[in-house]
């Protein structure tokens, strides 16, 4: 049974960082994949830290967190990449039937198009934000999505529960805090958890894209409530104390560069990531003010 609770002492305790993950597997991914690579290009899975694994493609992230009573998967890539994600999970030695919960970042086809097939393969329960739940049910982006006109439909998926801002998803010894981060989409979520091995822990954050991109004709400045929520999302991510930063597009947070340097826990910090995106939003608003 999934339990929801406010984030508490689970992330407050201090501990030494876990032992480094398999450097050879990380180097293999960096050698096989390019920056901003194809969404459906297979890439080898690797251990991020402790119980956290990268099981996505070369161009799109999918994150597996393993636990004593089953596993949690965040995102599933586009619909033609669900099989790649499934094979990566099995290649690490985990059973698909042990994936018990499916979560999401933002509700676009390149990140959640494969969720329906992964739900079928695993039997897992899909939990979604209220806004994303409607998108999963229809398989189409919502009309208040800045990129509504650009994103094609994807296979609809059954939503089994709603996740609200600040709630914690618990499964055995796993606890993931949900952070509502609307901006790139209305229903986007970011995630914060402790990647632990014995008593050694690191704080991992899967921060949503939060890029101010849109369909032609959409102006962020014409939507003051959504813009204010966007600002709050950036502030929320900037305030996170993350040892390891992951993002839906791995290149957005420089994952390959960090793997090549052999330091996945290196920069950017959550604060630097959010500040860079805030500058992009400011630039976009300045362009709109100039009639662009």
The answer to whether 106 is a known catalytic residue is yes
Bridge partners, residue 205, by sequence: 192, 245
Catalytic residue among 110, 145, 192, 208: 110
CB-based burial, 55-93: b 16+ in 10 Å, e otherwise: bbbbbbbbbbbbbeebbbbbbbbbbebbbbbbebbeebe
Catalytic residue among 109, 192, 249, 273: 249
Q: Closest Cα partner for 248 from 34, 61, 73?
A: 61
CB-based burial, 98-111: b 16+ in 10 Å, e otherwise: ebbbbbbbbbbbbb
Catalytic residue among 71, 106, 109, 151: 106
The answer to whether 111 is a known catalytic residue is yes
Catalytic residue among 54, 111, 243, 273: 111
The answer to whether 184 is a known catalytic residue is yes
Catalytic residue among 53, 54, 206, 218: 218
The answer to whether 218 is a known catalytic residue is yes
The answer to whether 110 is a known catalytic residue is yes
From residue 116, how far is each of 3, 77, 271 by CA, in Å? Answer: 23, 11, 33
The answer to whether 108 is a known catalytic residue is yes
Distance CA 202, CA 15 (A): 8
Catalytic residue among 40, 184, 206, 243: 184
Catalytic residue among 37, 40, 79, 108: 108
Q: Closest Cα partner for 188 from 103, 100, 251?
A: 103
Q: Among all residues, which ones are annotated catalytic?
A: 106, 108, 110-111, 184, 218, 249
């Amino acid at each position: 049974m999934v339990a929801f609770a406010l984030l508490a002492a689970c992330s407050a305790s201090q501990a030494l960082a876990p032992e480094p993950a398999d450097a050879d597997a990380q180097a293999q991914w960096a050698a096989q994949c390019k920056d901003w690579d194809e969404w459906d290009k297979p890439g080898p899975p690797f251990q991020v830290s402790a119980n956290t694994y990268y099981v996505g493609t070369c161009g799109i992230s999918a994150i597996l967190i393993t636990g004593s009573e089953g596993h949690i998967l965040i995102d599933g890539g586009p619909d033609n990449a669900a099989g790649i994600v499934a094979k990566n999970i099995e290649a690490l030695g985990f059973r698909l039937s042990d994936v018990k919960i499916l979560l999401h970042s933002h509700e676009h086809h390149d990140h959640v198009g494969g969720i329906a097939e992964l739900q079928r393969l695993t039997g897992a329960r899909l939990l979604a934000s209220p806004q994303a739940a409607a998108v999963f049910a229809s398989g189409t982006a919502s009309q208040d999505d800045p990129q509504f006109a650009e994103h094609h439909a994807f296979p609809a998926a059954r939503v089994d529960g709603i996740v609200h801002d600040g709630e914690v998803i618990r499964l055995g010894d796993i606890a993931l805090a949900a952070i509502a981060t609307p901006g790139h989409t209305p229903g986007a979520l970011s995630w914060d958890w402790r990647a632990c091995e014995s008593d050694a822990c690191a704080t991992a954050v899967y921060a949503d894209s939060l890029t101010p991109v849109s369909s032609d004709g959409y102006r962020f400045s014409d939507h003051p409530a959504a813009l204010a929520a966007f600002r709050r999302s950036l502030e929320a991510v900037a305030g996170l104390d993350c040892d390891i930063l992951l993002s839906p597009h791995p290149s957005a947070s420089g994952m390959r560069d960090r793997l090549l340097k052999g330091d996945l826990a290196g920069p950017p910090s959550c604060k630097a990531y959010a500040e860079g995106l805030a500058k992009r939003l400011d630039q976009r608003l300045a362009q709109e003010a100039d009639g662009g």
